[in-house]
Structure 1
Amino acid sequence: MAANEQKGQPGDLGRALLSAGVLTPDWAPTYEAVPRSAFLPDLIWPFDMAAGRSRAVSKTDDPAGWQGYADADVPIVTQWDDGRHSGTEPGEVSTSSASMPSVVFSMLRDLDVRPGARAMEIGTGTGWNAALLAHRLGAGNVVTVEVDGAVAASARAALERFGLPVRVVHGDGFLGCPQGAPYDRIMATCGVREVPFAWVRQGRPGGVIVAPWGTHYSNGDAVARLVVARDGESASGGFTGPVEFMKLRAQRRPPVVHSDYVTGSVADGAETSTGITEAEFVGEKFSPVRFALGLRVRDCWHVVAEKRDGARPVWFYGLADRSWACVMFRDGDTARVWQSGPRRLWDEAESAYRWWEARDRPGFARFGLTVDKHGQRAWLDDPQDAWAL
């Protein structure tokens, strides 16, 4: 901990999080008492905001730099490639991490824990989030589930070393942990494409489920805050804001291979054009339009390519067949479109965009999700007016 935090003060980051309303006063003592640094390995890969990439930092070689990143509001990768990675250079895919403190405490704020509550966490990671919950609720009231055996063992050791011996279950978080049910609060620290009905059944009626949720359309998620119904057979609620998390391993999809779809030239597709501009359609990374389109265009993955020489292609790939589409946005010109396959994916995307536009461009807070044994349904403003996903 930094010197001023050792004296019980929140430090620069803590004050910033309090000022932003992310760290609420009831969580401030826990923030001070349970530092992220106590749960990080000696070799970490924090995201360097200036360089725009992850970099290796060793506690042994650079203790001040290591501590600085531990106390900063940056995500820190702690495992690459499901543990197959070795060495200090970043691996191919980050598969376990310590999330940004601002994201951690905003989700804990959404969870709204109460004294005496029982909580289940999905995705133990370093163990820091479980420790935060245990500090508030008591170690005996927290269960955390981790699919990776090595990650689970490391977190269990860190929690015991810190004096918060939470029960760490090595298993598939998709199944939850029925042995400890019912839970008053369920929290996922990994992105899901489907909220498992098992979580609903393991939640106490009136209990809360907080999870990063999204579609395969993009990697961008939003935090869903669902309340379990009185009969325990469904859960429903809205979204609180955008996030991006590593995905639950049971729901990860293999990457799309472009050449499996486009076997020749893009010009082989049927050509049209669109009046939608790049600024309107692409937006920012966490723009609500991308989230909205994912809710309306099913079984589709899209990629926003880099812009070069005033041109930016956006690709769409069907996940249930080999349909594809490409829209080429070019500065000062009408965008050209090519489509191929059983589906006309750009037509679907454009229709979804017009739907979003006609409803006053709703943000994340106007959308919601309902989960029951039949699956999940999305809605805008009114849970009674939902559509299947």
Structure 2
Amino acid sequence: MSDEHPTGGVGPAEGLTRSLLEAGALTGDWSAAWAAVPRGAFLPDLMWPYDMDTGASRPVDRRADPADWERQAYANVPVTIQWDDGQHAGPGPGRVATSSASMPSVVARMLADLDVFAGARVLEIGTGTGWNAALLAARLGEGHVVTVEVDPAVAAAAREALDRAGLSPEAVCGDGRDGWPAGAPYDRVIVTAGVRQVPSAWREQTRPGGLILAPWGTHYSPEDALVRLTVSGDGSASGPFLRPLEFMKLRSQRLDWGRFGRHVDRYPGDADRSATTVGLPDLGGRGRFQAATFVLGLCVPDCAHVLNAGGDESTAWFFDMSGTRSWASVVFRPQETDATVHQSGPRRLWDEVSAALDWWRGQGSPPVESFGLTVTSRGAHRPWLGTPSRPVPSFAT
């Protein structure tokens, strides 16, 4: 398909490629694959591009407005292709986006971070539209790529798109946490879903010296950081966080917020009350991809956190996930210097968060990129600062 418009101008596909090259997101060694595999060939007629300014998704239907559809297909924005695990019907957005095409700039940067080479075997976790698998197959050869998708409908649509593109990487419908042992060992594993634990199967199916590239985070926040782990001969894997980002979570590792329904029978009940001078901005506030939010998740294990933001009052909640039913809340009011703290249960969750915040500040408030992660051969996850010899402390009481 030509990307030249009738007026002689550059079309959306070529414009996207040029902008990513100029920004340094797309590297020259991926240019040929990128040109051979246009993003639009992998998107459905009805899709929901995400507006980065408003934070909302809207339906765009190629059959109703092909020009708008093409613009959105080649815009540098994420595009939802499924809502509510396929239970959604109708053109409007659903409740929860459950499959998408990632931002092209994110796709390009992750492929560059994967550091592939001729002959490399790659396992992709999360086929989605099939576009990423197609790019890998166009670069490495379809016999070198295996992609796994958990949702049968999404997997079937991706296979059809790959067939139309004339590419046949091995496309498996299955749970990505199990990898695909039949194709192992792999030189590279690339994960396009957020994870809270690196499954042992991924390490076991990767050659020593191979890489696992995955969006990793804690249940403290829905946000992730891209980690690049190098697998060792003893089965462990270790490496740095490269930058913040956010992906839909691996289905087997989603956080069920319903599990905290019995933590707070009455509010505040018999919870201990105190005050703090810590402000909402100190915790990361309402902003996205704040280092404080990510680091607090590293330092306060088994803690889920949510912010109920309002104009006159915002409440930060903290829930213990380890079974004690401990909880804490901090109420912030713009006109008050001190925030009101309530804590209940054997874990003093706010004390843990406050101590972790003090530790991070004491280290000079390092950014996400200063941290890394080691996954031991037994599966333990150990975050570190600067080097694996400097483990991040845990403030769990």
Q: So what's the TM-score if we normalise by structure 2?
A: 0.93
Aligned length: 387
Structure 2 residue corresponding to 1:382, chosen from 377, 387, 390 = 387
C-alpha distance in structure 1 between counterparts of 2:67 and 2:343, whole Å: 53
Equivalence for 2:78: 75
Equivalence for 1:297: 300
Instruction: Provide the secondary structure at the position in 2 that maps to 1:260.
Output: coil
Alpha-carbon shift at residue 267 of structure 1 (Å): 6.1
1:319 has 2:324 as partner: no
Equivalence for 2:339: 335
Q: Deviations over 1:190-232 (max 9, x none)?
A: 0011111211111111111100000110100000001111x15
CA contact (8 A) 1:10 1:31 kept: no
Mapping for residues 157-168 of structure 1, pairs under 5 Å: 157-168=160-171
Equivalence for 2:277: 275
Mapping for residues 1-12 of structure 1, pairs under 5 Å: 3-4=3-4, 11-12=14-15
Please identify, of 260-269 and 26-35, the stretch whose mean Cα deviation from structure 2 is larger: 260-269
Structure 1 residue corresponding to 2:266, chosen from 264, 267, 278 = 264
Instruction: Provide the secondary structure at the position in 1 that maps to 2:134.
Output: helix
Alpha-carbon shift at residue 95 of structure 1 (Å): 1.0
Q: Deviations over 1:304-340 (max 9, x none)?
A: 222312x321111111232111111222421121111
Mapping for residues 8-23 of structure 1, pairs under 5 Å: 11-23=14-26
Structure 2 residue corresponding to 1:344, chosen from 340, 343, 348 = 348
Equivalence for 1:357: 361
C-alpha distance in structure 1 between counterparts of 2:52 and 2:390, whole Å: 41
Relative distance call for 1:61 and 1:338 in structure 2 (3 A) is: same
C-alpha distance in structure 2 between counterparts of 1:136 and 1:261, whole Å: 51
Q: Deviations over 1:41-95 (max 9, x none)?
A: 1111111234421111111011111111110011111111111111112122111
CA contact (8 A) 1:306 1:312 kept: yes
Alpha-carbon shift at residue 175 of structure 1 (Å): 0.8
C-alpha distance in structure 1 between counterparts of 2:255 and 2:315, whole Å: 23
Structure 2 letter corresponding to 1:74 = V
Relative distance call for 1:10 and 1:80 in structure 2 (3 A) is: closer
Equivalence for 1:137: 140
Relative distance call for 1:4 and 1:350 in structure 2 (3 A) is: farther
Equivalence for 1:183: 186
Please identify, of 329-338 and 215-224, the stretch whose mean Cα deviation from structure 2 is larger: 329-338
Equivalence for 2:36: 33
Relative distance call for 1:335 and 1:10 in structure 2 (3 A) is: same
Alpha-carbon shift at residue 258 of structure 1 (Å): 6.0
Structure 2 residue corresponding to 1:207, chosen from 180, 193, 210 = 210
Relative distance call for 1:355 and 1:4 in structure 2 (3 A) is: farther
C-alpha distance in structure 2 between counterparts of 1:26 and 1:4, whole Å: 23
Equivalence for 2:123: 120
Q: So what's the TM-score if we normalise by structure 1?
A: 0.94
C-alpha distance in structure 2 between counterparts of 1:46 and 1:324, whole Å: 37
Instruction: Provide the secondary structure at the position in 1 that maps to 2:27.
Output: coil
Relative distance call for 1:324 and 1:84 in structure 2 (3 A) is: same
C-alpha distance in structure 1 between counterparts of 2:297 and 2:377, whole Å: 22
C-alpha distance in structure 2 between counterparts of 1:4 and 1:287, whole Å: 41
Structural RMSD (CA): 2.0
CA contact (8 A) 2:216 2:226 kept: yes
Structure 2 unmatched runs, 5+: none
Q: Deviations over 1:234-267 (max 9, x none)?
A: 1110011011111111111212466522222236
Q: Deviations over 1:97-151 (max 9, x none)?
A: 1000111111111101111111000000010000011111011100001111111
CA contact (8 A) 1:131 1:159 kept: yes
Structure 2 letter corresponding to 1:312 = S
Structure 2 residue corresponding to 1:234, chosen from 233, 236, 242 = 236
Percent of aligned positions with the same letter in both sequences? 53
**After TM superposition, which residue ranges in structure 1, 4 or more long, deviate above 6 angstroms?**
5-10
Structure 2 residue corresponding to 1:46, chosen from 46, 49, 74 = 49
CA contact (8 A) 1:42 1:58 kept: yes
C-alpha distance in structure 2 between counterparts of 1:34 and 1:356, whole Å: 44
Equivalence for 1:84: 87
C-alpha distance in structure 2 between counterparts of 1:92 and 1:129, whole Å: 26
Alpha-carbon shift at residue 388 of structure 1 (Å): 8.9
C-alpha distance in structure 2 between counterparts of 1:59 and 1:166, whole Å: 27
Instruction: Provide the secondary structure at the position in 1 that maps to 2:257.
Output: coil
C-alpha distance in structure 1 between counterparts of 2:367 and 2:308, whole Å: 24
Please identify, of 156-165 and 259-268, the stretch whose mean Cα deviation from structure 2 is larger: 259-268
1:366 has 2:379 as partner: no
